[in-house]
Amino acid sequence: MKNDLFLRALKGETVERPPVWMMRQAGRYLPEFMAIREKYDFFTRCRTPELASEITVQPIRRYGMDVAILFSDILVIPQAMNIEVQMKPNFGPYLPNPIRDQKGVDEVIVPDVNVELDYVMQAIKATKELLNDEVPLIGFAGSPWTILCYCVQGQGSKSFDKAKKFCFTNPIAAHQLLQKITDTTIAYLKAKVKAGVNAVQVFDSWGGMLSPVDYQEFSWKYINQIIEALKDDAPVISFAKGCWYALEEMSNSNASALGVDWTVTPEVARKLTNNKITLQGNFDPTRLYSPPTEIKKMVHTMIDAFGKDKYIVNLGHGILPDIPLENAKAFIDAVKEYKS
């Protein structure tokens, strides 16, 4: 690997500067991505290895991040599990038959991921060829709780009230569904590692919808199963948005790194994790609207606060679609220019 900064940071090694990448870096803020989007619908892009691999490397070509993340979607998992998922323009994910009862859970299958999700493995192989060992590649999955949120709610939500109601009124069925998703996710991520990804990230986008007690029951214990199953295969990053309260517990797991969002200071995140695990984050994505000179100053301040070691520079969530290209560049360049 010509640039192994990211892998070294995951191991907690001393580095000359922290590595940098951005969640959703392969996507809709790039004109070259928009050109592909005009020709092909969302899931066609995910299912066509040439398209997925091209989209994955676009930001690396333009900005030279230290790691690529495979272009895909967390909802390919429920699709493989016999759950219909559509991606509606200007709306987002839509599941026409949400799961609301035991019968719905019983109809969900744990698939053979090597058959149902073979297109993802082919995309990984195609991407590895394009990357040519310049930088590592991350594979990812949604957390079981986050996937359940979509499967039960049927679409995005500000509260995921229907998903929570299902868990609290029908906990047996909810845990059965969570376990099916977990089993599928473990097999999926293992297949991704075998296909060539160098690390995996679990996105718990909706973990913050749960109270700290419910988070342990309905989310963290399933994420931890994934970490335990993958820990000997590849480094695992766990990113739980809105869950800073769980950082201490998460730092006692076998995760290689924890993603943090902008609702917690670097100092508090380090204190809660006892400075023993690599942290990733936590620049507010909307701060990329600030002028480039200001972005650079804020990034340097952020690195100073986290410390350059055991740290991966990232946003606290995905990059927004209308961020100016020069602002995204300022974010990446600030890290590359960093001197401690």
DSSP string, 106-160: HT-----HHHHTHHHHHHHHHHHHHHTTSS-EEEEEE-HHHHHHHHHHSB--SS-
Question: Are 196 and 153 a contacting pair, CB within 8 Å?
Answer: no
How is residue 57 written in tokens?
């490397």
DSSP letter at 220 equals I
User: What percent of the chain stands above pLDDT 90?
Assistant: 99
Whether 47 is a known active-site residue: answer no
- Tell me the two tokens of residue 287: 């701060």
166 is in an annotated binding site: no
Name the class of domain 5-336. alpha beta
Task: For 128-155, write each residue's pLDDT tens digit.
Answer: 999 999 999 999 999 999 999 999 999 9
Residue 308 binned pLDDT confidence (cut-offs 50, 70, 90): very high
Q: Which two tokens stand for residue 289?
A: 């609207």
From the list 245, 323, 310, 249, the residue with the least C-alpha distance to 281 is 310
* pLDDT on residue 340: 78
Calculate the alpha carbon distances from 135 to 177, 246, 313 in Å.
36, 31, 15
Give me the pLDDT at residue 79, please.
Answer: 98
Q: Distance of alpha carbon 310 from its chain centroid, rounded?
A: 19
Burial 31-44 (b: 16+ CB within 10 A, else e): eebeebbeeeebbe
Confidence of residue 292 (pLDDT cuts 50, 70, 90): very high
Give me the DSSP letters along 85-99: -EEETTTEEE-SS--
3-state class of 280 per DSSP? strand
Q: Tell me, yes or no, if 61 is annotated catalytic.
A: no
Of 63, 150, 188, 215, which one is the catalytic site residue?
150
Per-residue pLDDT tens over the stretch 210-247? 999 999 999 999 999 999 999 999 999 999 999 999 99
Q: Which of 8, 62, 73, 309 is catalytic?
A: 73
Catalytic entry in 28, 94, 214, 284: 28
Segment 286-303 mean pLDDT: 98
Domain spans of the chain? 5-336
Q: Mean pLDDT of all residues in the chain?
A: 98
Residue pLDDT, tens place only, 75-112: 999 999 999 999 998 899 999 999 999 999 999 999 99
Q: How confident is the model at residue 256 (pLDDT cuts 50, 70, 90)?
A: very high
26 labelled binding-site residue? yes
Q: Say what the pLDDT of residue 198 is.
A: 98
Q: Establish whether 300 is an annotated binding residue.
A: no
- Read off φ and ψ for residue 200, nearest 5 degrees: -130, 150
What's the confidence (pLDDT) of residue 185?
Answer: 99
CB 114 within 8 A of CB 193: no
What's the predicted TM-score (pTM) here? 0.98
Q: Is 168 annotated as a binding residue?
A: no
Q: At what angle do helices 292-306 and 325-336 cross, to 10 degrees?
A: 40
